[in-house]
Structure 1
Amino acid sequence: MGYTEKEIQEYLQREEEYMLLPLSQLPELSPNCQAFPLVEEFIARSELLQIKAYKQNEVTVIDCGVNVPGGWEAGLLFASICLGGLAQVRLHWSDFSGFRWPAVEVVTDHPIRACMASQFAGWPIKNGELLAMGSGPGRAIVHEGSLFEILGYEDHSERAVLCLESEELPSKEVIQYLLEECHCDPKNLYILVAPTVSHVGSVQIAARALETGLSKLMGLGYNLGKIVSGWGICPVPPVACDNLSALGRTNDAILYGSTVLYNLRDEENLDSLVKQVPSCASREYGRPFKEVYKDYGNFYDIDPLLFSPAEVWLCNLHSGRSWQAGSLRPDILRHSFGLEMNS
């Protein structure tokens, strides 16, 4: 039995309205609620995963690489939690235009909630002399930054799960600040910490390729409500020997090694849009990120067009057409990852 055009349009309208509902009206999609079982798994398997969970003023802090080794499996769980439990995250070997390397793959049917309302690292937090970048499900409770004014999402979960990219564990002052921001009981706050220079850091940052593309689309003024699902893959950079090298490698992995695909519904021709999304749209494209960073000395002074996946696909479910732009740069990946080839 077939459907009439009117029935199809009514279905699509209901689905779009569902996608844009605030998190408070969709508790089953609360990133904090969905991520919490993964947090429990993290704690229960702490010894196996080479991480350490401890209590500080009743708040649970999970060290994923500051004073412990951590590992790829811990990085996989960290990334899944950061995505609010609303995405599949897996590790495997992949081929990047002739360059074979371990990769992390993220697949989600809730890209805006998983990537933007949870994973997006848009919350700088002062931790002593250092600056920690905050992300994870708890951001949908705190509503920190203008992003949530755009998304209109809100999560009223009693539990709050936050992820910090930091070289140090949170101080007492930071924990108290996060408690006040999340408005939750100390026993319901969970803080995961991983440095950039760590196995967990390498995995969880590479798992941000899909979110990076969405951020670029939002910066270009595209209506993210039209995006239905997303699929991304990115090489997992080897752990570097210092912070600057780690910053370079993790960014290069996304800028020159990642591919993302978005299913969306749009009435427009997307040929012009897709060309603006990949990292090759930036004037700084083609140089290892470490060199770019050294030239500017400030992360926020770098051309924002550079922060994008290497290759982007837009598949329009409305018209059945697909567009592609960008390409992988295995030469830059080899150089950035410190690969020495035997002759």
Structure 2
Amino acid sequence: MPVPQLIDIAALSPNTLALPMVRQLIGQPERFGVEVHLQDGVTIVDCGVHAPGGWEAGVLLASICLGGLAQVGMHWYDFDGFQWPAVEIATDHPVRACLAAQYAGWQIKAGKYFAMGSGPGRAVVGTEALFSQLGYQDSSKTAVFCLESGELPPPDAVKYIVEKCKRDPTDVYLLVAATASAAGSMQIAARSVETGLHKMLELGCDLGAVKSGWGICPVSPVASNPLSAIGRTNDAVLYGATVHYNFHCDDEQLVSLLPGLPSLSSADYGQPFEKIYQRYGDFYSIDPMLFSPAQVLISNLRSGRSFRAGKIRADILKVSFGLEQATEKS
């Protein structure tokens, strides 16, 4: 698959750029509702496991996950008549920010502990097949990881991560948030651009033609249990996210690519994700083509033309988010 080769440029190191934001979280735990722990020299920041976390912590978590190479902000947005809080991201380094940093591509297993690992530290470890395609490894002495888990990592998991990144424990940072948390919902909603890029990768798109990405996605309300949280956060992207990419290529390539990009191109499209999951019984049996934004817009910098595919499904979002209409007095 055609993937641009990334160069290890110190000024664009996602771990180096993320570190000041990590220090902001650590330096103001009361403000962001986080808890800071030290374990064998490694700094662990609880952003939403036992700590309450919050939306502001979620914005910082998302920014860190993107390796400091994207703008992240909170907004109110109208999703086809459905007004709901949203997170918006924009990046001029989409492959480096979203695939080399943000993509949750590392499954961390140690004993009974499991977490999906994302964030710029993945580019330090560099063992995923994706990094062979990118021809990239971040040489930063700092390694910053974002873990999606309902538990803080135990000592054997921390030791495993340190051994894999081959860094001094004092230079390793682990930020943890459960899916069913405010910060967890926020950082997943901030994956709108990344989700579209990964779909492009699956479709064999030349990612070197993608020059920038801009996305907005509803931030799902915190669910009462892990399965519902997985359902809601997926629905936010599948049925609510709109992304825009600037390309530099031939229009014919975009016309061919675009129909397969939005989530509605999947045979599993059209129901809340929790129902789809329950039908199959496991995550990996679901059609991988489902995991994409609801609506995709592309502008071609070469021709000046723009293209669009997909749509917002406010009806599914309302059901997924458990929205109940209050009875109005006459």
Same topology, TM > 0.5: yes
Do the aligned residues in 1 keep the contact of 2:113 with 2:154 (CA within 8 Å)? no
Alpha-carbon distance in 1 for matches of 2:242, 2:143: 31
Do the aligned residues in 2 keep the contact of 1:62 with 1:192 (CA within 8 Å)? yes
Q: Which amino acid counterpart does residue 211 of structure 2 have in structure 1?
A: V
5 Å-filtered alignment, 1:214-253, equals: 214-253=197-236
The one of 255, 259, 262 aligned to 1:271? 255
Aligned to 2:164: 181
Aligned to 1:305: 289
Alpha-carbon distance in 1 for matches of 2:285, 2:223: 24
Alpha-carbon distance in 1 for matches of 2:61, 2:147: 10
Deviations along 1:128-184, one digit per CA (max 9) or x if unpaired, are 434210000101111132111111121000010001000100111111111111110
Q: Which amino acid counterpart does residue 63 of structure 1 have in structure 2?
A: D
Equivalenced residue count is 324
Aligned to 2:84: 101
Q: Which amino acid counterpart does residue 316 of structure 1 have in structure 2?
A: N
Return 5+ residue gaps in structure 1 as ranges: 1-18
1:272 shift after superposition:
2.4
Deviations along 1:247-295, one digit per CA (max 9) or x if unpaired, are 1000000000000000010024112211110000000111100000001
Do the aligned residues in 1 keep the contact of 2:118 with 2:146 (CA within 8 Å)? yes
Do the aligned residues in 1 keep the contact of 2:143 with 2:171 (CA within 8 Å)? yes
5 Å-filtered alignment, 1:133-152, equals: 133-152=116-135
TM-score by length of 2: 0.96
Alpha-carbon distance in 1 for matches of 2:246, 2:31: 37
Alpha-carbon distance in 2 for matches of 1:304, 1:151: 21
The percentage of counterpart residues that share the same residue type is: 56
Aligned to 1:159: 142
Aligned to 2:54: 71
Alpha-carbon distance in 2 for matches of 1:202, 1:143: 26
Do the aligned residues in 1 keep the contact of 2:15 with 2:143 (CA within 8 Å)? yes
3-state secondary structure, aligned to 2:318: helix
Alpha-carbon distance in 1 for matches of 2:203, 2:11: 31
2:311 equivalent to 1:327: yes
3-state secondary structure, aligned to 2:269: coil
2:1 equivalent to 1:27: no
Aligned to 2:279: 295
Alpha-carbon distance in 2 for matches of 1:300, 1:215: 16
Runs ≥4 in structure 1, deviation > 4 angstroms?
Answer: none
The one of 161, 171, 195 aligned to 1:212? 195
The one of 16, 23, 26 aligned to 1:43? 26
Do the aligned residues in 1 keep the contact of 2:47 with 2:177 (CA within 8 Å)? yes
Q: Which moved more, 1:288-297 or 1:144-153?
A: 144-153
1:244 shift after superposition:
0.7
TM-score by length of 1: 0.93
Alpha-carbon distance in 2 for matches of 1:144, 1:303: 25
Alpha-carbon distance in 1 for matches of 2:111, 2:295: 38
2:237 equivalent to 1:254: yes
Aligned to 2:104: 121
3-state secondary structure, aligned to 1:55: strand
Q: Which amino acid counterpart does residue 180 of structure 1 have in structure 2?
A: E
Inter-CA distance 21–218: structure 2 relative to 1 (3 Å threshold): closer
Deviations along 1:190-235, one digit per CA (max 9) or x if unpaired, are 0000000100100000001110000000000001111000000000
The one of 123, 127, 132 aligned to 2:115? 132
Aligned to 1:315: 299
Do the aligned residues in 2 keep the contact of 1:279 with 1:306 (CA within 8 Å)? yes
Alpha-carbon distance in 1 for matches of 2:103, 2:134: 12
Do the aligned residues in 2 keep the contact of 1:128 with 1:171 (CA within 8 Å)? no
Return 5+ residue gaps in structure 2 as ranges: none
Q: Which amino acid counterpart does residue 210 of structure 2 have in structure 1?
A: I
1:112 shift after superposition:
0.4
Do the aligned residues in 1 keep the contact of 2:113 with 2:153 (CA within 8 Å)? no
